[in-house]
Amino acid sequence: MNTTTLTDSQRQQLRAQLEQRKEQLLQELDAIQRDTLGVAEAAGRGDAEPAGSSRDQANSMAAGMVRDAEAARDHAELVAVRAALERIAAGSYGECTDCGQSVGVPRLLAQPAAARCIACQSKAEAQGHR
Ligand SMILES: [Zn+2]
């Protein structure tokens, strides 16, 4: 098996996965946003945790922080997924964005949004950004 070049069907399969992931992330981000905006209202509508006590407020603040972290992670992934789809459209998908070498088919199959080969990814992570 050739592990450096994607076949057309592999590329199509990965593109479908990326499109699907993009939709999922958009929905998640949308839900998180609605959730954040709707917390005050929801408390009055009775479809959320009963509001009023200080313990509930602390819980909802903690939940808000979790949501923020989720939103940030989803957003970062969405950016990576969109960039991968752009690389597919541009025909550069599967090439490391840093060194231009093949990212490697097994790596792409495991992580369709991977932008860098393992060597460059390790380097980037060592420098503190992904
Ligand atoms: Zn590289």
Q: What would the pLDDT profile of 11-42 be if each residue is shown by its tens digit? A: 999 999 999 999 999 999 999 988 877 765 65
103 domain-assigned: no
Per-position b or e across 57-86, b if 16+ CB within 10 A of its CB: eeebeeeeeebeeebeebeebbebbeebbe
pLDDT exceeds 70 at position 86 = yes
25 domain-assigned: yes
What's the structural domain count of the chain? 1
130 domain-assigned: no
99 domain-assigned: no
120 domain-assigned: no
Q: Structural domain of residue 14, as residue ranges?
A: 8-94
Q: For residue 103, what pLDDT is reported?
A: 96
How many Å lie between the centroid of ligand 1 and the Cα of residue 75? 24
Q: For residue 33, what pLDDT is reported?
A: 87
Distance separating alpha carbons of residues 2 and 103, to the nearest angstrom? 13
For the CA atoms of 113, 117, 118, 122, the dihedral, rounded to the nearest 10 degrees, stands at -90
pLDDT exceeds 90 at position 104 = yes
Q: What is the mean pLDDT of the chain?
A: 88
How many Å lie between the centroid of ligand 1 and the Cα of residue 2? 18
70 domain-assigned: yes
Q: For residue 73, what pLDDT is reported?
A: 95
